[in-house]
């Protein structure tokens, strides 16, 4: 069982996934900082000093923090846009690197194929003549 578990962990897909998760967490921290420390203060200035994260409604004894939800939506939109731009850039680079080769002309048919085609055509003409 241990050998099987070790083999499972040493597969490339598991290691690739682990690296992707670690980079995703780091990327999330960068985007969160970008949103909280740079973009949202600017949005607050444009909207007259409104801080979304502090927006809430008191309903009885409960606090409905809809500002946190707005903040999460802004974070999502920015993350989605950044990922889109990264994927778009990668696709452009890959398209430049791996331009498809121009389609080669189909090879000329061999002598056997030409002969068989002529025989077929003669037989068709013969059948039509009857």
Domain containing residue 119: 2-123
Would 47 be classed as within a structural domain?
yes
Contact present, 44 and 50 (Cβ < 8 Å): yes
* Residues 94-114 pLDDT 10s: 888 877 777 788 888 899 999
pTM of the model: 0.49
**Domain CATH code at residue 89:** 1.10.1200.120
CA distance 19 to 6: 18
Would 18 be classed as within a structural domain?
yes
Number of domains in the chain: 1
Would 130 be classed as within a structural domain?
no
> What is the per-residue pLDDT for 40?
75
Q: 16 or 26: whose pLDDT is higher?
A: 26
* Residue among 27, 23, 32 at smallest CA distance from 76: 32
State the sign of the Cα–Cα–Cα–Cα dihedral 45, 47, 48, 54.
negative
Phi-psi region of 55 (alpha: psi -120 to 50; beta: other; left: phi over 0): beta
> What is the per-residue pLDDT for 33?
85
Would 129 be classed as within a structural domain?
no
State the sign of the Cα–Cα–Cα–Cα dihedral 90, 95, 96, 98.
positive
CA distance 25 to 130: 79
The band of 120, judged by pLDDT with boundaries at 50, 70 and 90, is very high
Q: Dmax over Cα atoms in the chain, in whole Å?
A: 99
């Amino acid at each position: 069982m241990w050998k099987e578990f070790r083999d499972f962990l040493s597969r490339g897909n598991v290691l690739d996934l682990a690296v992707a998760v670690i980079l995703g967490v780091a990327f999330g921290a960068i985007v969160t900082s970008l949103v909280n420390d740079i973009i949202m203060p600017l949005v607050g200035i444009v909207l007259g000093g409104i801080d979304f994260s502090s927006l809430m409604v008191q309903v009885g004894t409960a606090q409905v923090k809809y500002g946190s939800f707005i903040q999460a939506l802004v974070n999502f939109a920015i993350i989605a846009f950044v990922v889109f731009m990264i994927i778009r850039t990668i696709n452009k680079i890959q398209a430049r690197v791996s331009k498809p080769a121009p389609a080669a002309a189909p090879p000329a048919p061999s002598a056997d194929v030409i002969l068989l085609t002529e025989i077929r055509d003669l037989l068709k003409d013969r059948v039509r003549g009857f």
